[in-house]
Amino acid sequence: MIRLSDRNRWLAGVAAAALLAGVGGLLIGRSMTEPAATELTEEAEGEEHGPEGFIAMTPEKLAASGIASERVVLGSLMSEIIAQATVTAPPEGQALLTARADGAVVRINKRLGDPVGAGETVALLESREAAAFVADRNAAAARAQAARAAANREQRLFNARITARQDLEAAIAARQTAEAELQRANAAVSAAGVTGGGRYLAVRSPISGRITEVDTQLGAYVAAGAELFNVSDPRRIQIDAAVPATDAQRIRPGDRAIVELPTGSIVEAAVRSVTPAVDPQSRSATVVVQLGGAPAGLTQGQAVRVRITPRGSQESGIILPEEAVQQIEGRDMVFVQIKGGFQATPVSVGSRSGGRIEILDGLRAGQTVVTKGAFVLKSQLGASEAEH
């Protein structure tokens, strides 16, 4: 028979065992649930920050950031020709308006920078030559009319067998001469721009464009051939690149060219022609580069840089601006455009020349790489990693 003291000790032991079992279960439960919570947190952070080296970029943010990118192609520093160039107007894209005869400027219809249409009158000259042109035309018209009447009369007489054939042929020749003289007089009046009843000469623009230069003023008396206005069509441009004579010998029409815009972006172009002569002062030949239209950011007279790749050149690597390669954690990196943003990609670099760098490994032709503003992406990447 168990005594009371022994029974109390037995109940206390049972209670202690139950307490220990409950605490152990609680600890086991916590150890099983904590790793799962940790895994969920890490997964959520991975989804929020994306893969390592990735920078998200929306189209709106990209447009406002000033970042420029370029599709890479195979090339070589030895084959690429870099030249300074000037944006100019082709022959059909500019016009010089001159005075066709002596006279005084009595009206100017356009100011500097104003648009002008083809055939539009820019200014009027009051000139005695205008009256002379009209008088010559009127006299030629009278002679032509008399010659036509004489030829018709000789034709009737010949048909009536009154005059000889030679008289008819002489009348016909005289009529043709008089009509040719009338055509010449009409052309002279039209070319001189005679208007206002033979008092004024109109200065008209042969092309559409804008007034880029004004070299006269009201009341000025100008001589025939004086330069009065310059007109240029901003939609028509070409690039004139100054290339050393030794490099110009490697360039042929149709060679691929890249025009670097002041904004940092680039425009595809092609070589149109190469001048056979060399400028005696600069010792360089002029290579004319033709663009497909007039891209925004290019105006006549602007200085740009051109990269020309002659056909048949050895293409063993990828050439980028030095700005495109950034040092990140001791490694050379470029930012490759992918869906939703840019990915920092390690590359192996080679030689450098003229602000250009050769990429030996890490990129392939056809990828789009940031060529301007890569430092901005590097800063954003560093800030993002520090925050993370």
Tokens coding 107: 């009206």
Residue limits of CATH 2.40.50.100 in the chain: 96-232
Residue limits of CATH 2.40.420.20 in the chain: 51-75+314-388
Q: List the single range of 111-125, 172-186, 346-360 with lowest mean pLDDT.
A: 346-360
Q: Is the dihedral of CA 314, 315, 316, 317 positive or negative?
A: positive
The answer to whether 106 and 218 are in contact (CB under 8 A) is yes
Amino acid (one-letter) located at 90: P
Residue reference for tokens 């890569």: 374
Domain 81-90+237-312 belongs in CATH node 2.60.120.10: no
- Which one is the CATH code of 96-232: 2.40.30.10, 2.40.50.100, 2.10.60.10, 2.60.40.1260? 2.40.50.100
Instruction: Tally the C-alpha atoms within 13 A of residue 33's C-alpha that lie toward its C-beta.
Output: 6
Whether residue 33 has pLDDT greater than 90 = no
The region that residue 373 occupies, defined by phi over 0 for left and psi between -120 and 50 for alpha, beta otherwise, is left
The DSSP bridge pattern shows strands 221-222 and 227-232 to be unpaired
Question: What average pLDDT does the structure give for the chain?
Answer: 81
**In angstroms, what CA-CA distances link 87 with 18, 34, 96, 278?**
92, 68, 18, 19
| CB-neighbour burial class of residue 38 (10 A; exposed 0-12, middle 13-18, buried 19+) | exposed
- What per-residue confidence (pLDDT) applies to 320? 86
Whether residue 360 has pLDDT greater than 60 = yes
Whether residue 321 has pLDDT greater than 70 = yes
Distance between CA atoms of residues 26 and 17, nearest Å:
14
Whether residue 65 has pLDDT greater than 70 = yes
Instruction: Tally the C-alpha atoms within 13 A of residue 228's C-alpha that lie toward its C-beta.
Output: 32
Does the predicted model carry a pTM greater than 0.85?
no
- What per-residue confidence (pLDDT) applies to 78? 62
Distance between CA atoms of residues 240 and 222, nearest Å:
34
Whether residue 42 has pLDDT greater than 50 = no
Residues 6+ apart with CB under 8 A from 14: none
Domain 51-75+314-388 - what CATH class? Answer: mainly beta
Whether residue 170 has pLDDT greater than 80 = yes
Q: List the single range of 50-64, 223-237, 258-272 with lowest mean pLDDT.
A: 50-64
The answer to whether 155 and 168 are in contact (CB under 8 A) is yes
pLDDT tens digits along 282-298: 889 999 999 876 676 78
Cα 58–chain centre separation: 25
Band (pLDDT 50/70/90 cuts) for residue 314 is: low
Residue limits of CATH 2.40.30.170 in the chain: 81-90+237-312
Distance between CA atoms of residues 301 and 321, nearest Å:
25
Q: List the single range of 5-19, 28-42, 242-256 with lowest mean pLDDT.
A: 28-42
Distance between CA atoms of residues 156 and 351, nearest Å:
93
